[in-house]
Amino acid sequence: MIRTADRDGVRIVTLDNAPVNALSYALSTELVPIVETAEADAGIKAVIFTGANGLFSGGADVNDFTTEPTPQTKTVRDVIARVEAGSKTYIAAIDGNALGGGLELSLACDYRLITPRSRLGLPEIKLGLIPGAGGTQRLPRLIGAQDALQMMLKGELVKAQEAKTKGLADEIVDGDVVEAAFALLARVLPEAPKRRVSSRSVALGKGMQLMALPFIIASAHKMVPPEENGGFAAHKLIDAVQAAFELDFPRGLAREARLFDELVRSAPSFALRHIFFAERQLGKVPGLGSAPPREIARAGIVGAGTMGTGIAIAFADAGIPCVVVEPSDEQIERAKQMVFGMYMHQVQRGRLTQEVAWSRGQSIAFTSDYAELADRDLVIEAVFESMDVKKQVFAKLDAIVQPEGILASNTSTLDIDAMAAVTNRPDRVLGLHFFAPANIMKLLEIVRGKDTSPQTLATAFKLGKTLRKVAVLSRNAFGFIGNRMLFDYAREAIGLAEEGVAPHRVDAAMTNFGFAMGPFAMFDLSGVDVFWHISAARPDMGAGRTKIVDRLYEAKRLGQKTGAGFYTYDKAVGKGRQPIPDPDVERLFAEEAGKAGIAPRESTDAQIVERLSYALVNAGAKLLEDGVALRPGDIDIVYIYGYGFPPHHGGPMWYADEVGVKKVYERILEFRRELGPQWEAAPLLAEIAAKNGTFAAYRPTEKELTHA
């Protein structure tokens, strides 16, 4: 796991713990005596830390966070403490990523050399944690508190040039970074003094006075979410950086360690670590085996609407040229303007150069001729959500696209098998459900038809990675995972408004819980007409007990795009995107509720959250027992990346465990008595509750795996 070599009085220590050189307990336990041995060897003048596998280190092993180290076990803190106390000169020779504990190890060194492809970061905040091996104390001393706070609160990676500019790295070197370290040592030894970051005084930032500290700390606390709404770790991080100013280095380290240990046992961190591990399970699909994925070198898209154009941009960003077929010249022009506007915006924001933006834009071709799709490896239809229309498109594509080409539908609800049935290649047909805007949203639902081959699925998962999407498998079923659950969520949101709870109150309760937006704002964003069409197609999944959606649809209140839906929108307020509560809609709800005989019903914010979140849990349990979703974690990923479920609650299924599945089940039984048969509890939910179990411990049966 660690390789050492001596050369000219320098010990080279290579971290070799594939795949990311994680500084696990095991590796740290091995590393401590290596540092101690180097310190005890009079012939060793310096130590160079470097990494194998094309990177320095991805940081601590996340699996270790739930395990208490034994007295014999060493951690990265122990490694860094030995380096800190040592008398040798230490150099971090960084090629590739240095993240988390890996970067903290480098901060304990005297010099940090990086290559142009290096990326440095302390992303612990994304796991509901703070750097726990000195990062919050050393980084402010090295680059200033303001830059350090921004870097750690965002948890994003810093590119090489920015790292050099900030002072995070001493040099950017081309070629072999270890050889560059030897060249550096030749310049500074033998007189090289120790350059420990811990001995530096803490600075706020360039041109800033220490008297500004209270203002910076107070401002930082105001900029992050409240502790109870996803900001728990952020506030602790700010406290740790404040300690770097107010305490000496040893006591600052102790404060950081106490805050880290508090966070590692917190519910938000457990939830975020669940997401981390759930995401890494997504591609593990029973029956997929070792099917080799096909290469997607050229793609095609049918439909140049907002979704089709967004998908085209996603392909262009991934370096895959595509042709978009659209019969309407007017729509093609709008699509071209969308592509041009998006890339122009990227250039203006400094995210792309003119040359790169031009190249990507030119990789998207528009035509009305289906024949241009003949040589495509993959064609995705993104046309109107009508089965008849989609069948016509699939039949046409089957006759034109090369026999080995994969045909995919971007449908959000419809039957993939019905589309595959009109082709002669059902094994190469599947659903690729992108989420709007397709070039930005990370979620991709991969929908497996009954005849979809393992190779086609493997190709889809590889494509998801290429497009930088989080790909989740769903079995073919109406609405798949996300939208099928959304119907129950929407039903209860509408139900609350029918009972007299104003839409803006429902939305406020859910955003206070941590959702990115409330249900009614979401309906308006996606379009009330979309809501209406789905409800009309599947009345058994009706949105509510009244005709409220019909009334809005008939009144052309279709959401943001028409300036009115469940809310009104004023172009002078938030560029027409800010929902404004509308008393007329509340009166409309009351009128429709009166016709349906629905009595007003008081609901607290906590009861609103229960009703909507438990509807998701119950629907998710049904999807698991039907084999539509493979794992509870898959459902959680869909809802976090696609529907804005608060990550610090881990997704709906994890949240049920957080509350207690038995408690959720008992509350659903109450809803069943109070509200009707739509609240019939899923058998799987009842089964887990009876055992006082958790969804985290759920494992699908062989039957369910076969279905999936």
Which positions are annotated as active-site residues?
104, 124
| Alpha carbons 199 and 663: distance in angstroms, whole number | 53
Contact between 32 and 82 under an 8 Å Cβ cutoff? The reply is yes
- Order of strands, sheet of 299-302, starting from the edge strand that comes earlier in the sequence: 364-367, 322-325, 299-302, 378-381, 406-409, 429-434, 443-448, 470-475
Distances (CA, A) of 350 to 57, 232, 312, 353: 29, 32, 22, 7
Question: Hey, what are 694's tokens?
Answer: 């958790």
DSSP E strand stretches across 207-288: none
Residue 419 corresponds to which tokens in the numbers above?
Answer: 């589309």
Cα separation, 56 vs 98, in Å, equals: 5
User: Strand, helix or coil at 50?
Assistant: strand
Rounded Cα distance, 171 and 169, in Å: 6
Cα three-residue angle 615-618-621, rounded to 5 degrees: 145
Cis amide bond preceding 71, omega within 30: no
- Taking a C-beta distance cutoff of 8 angstroms, is the pair 88, 215 a contact? no
Quote the tokens at residue 492: 């209860």
Three-point CA angle 588, 541, 304, nearest 5°: 85
Query: Helix 683-690 to helix 661-675 angle, to the nearest 10 degrees?
Result: 130
Please report, for residues 409, 415, 523, the alpha-carbon distance to residue 390 in angstroms, rounded to integers and kept in the order given.
8, 10, 24
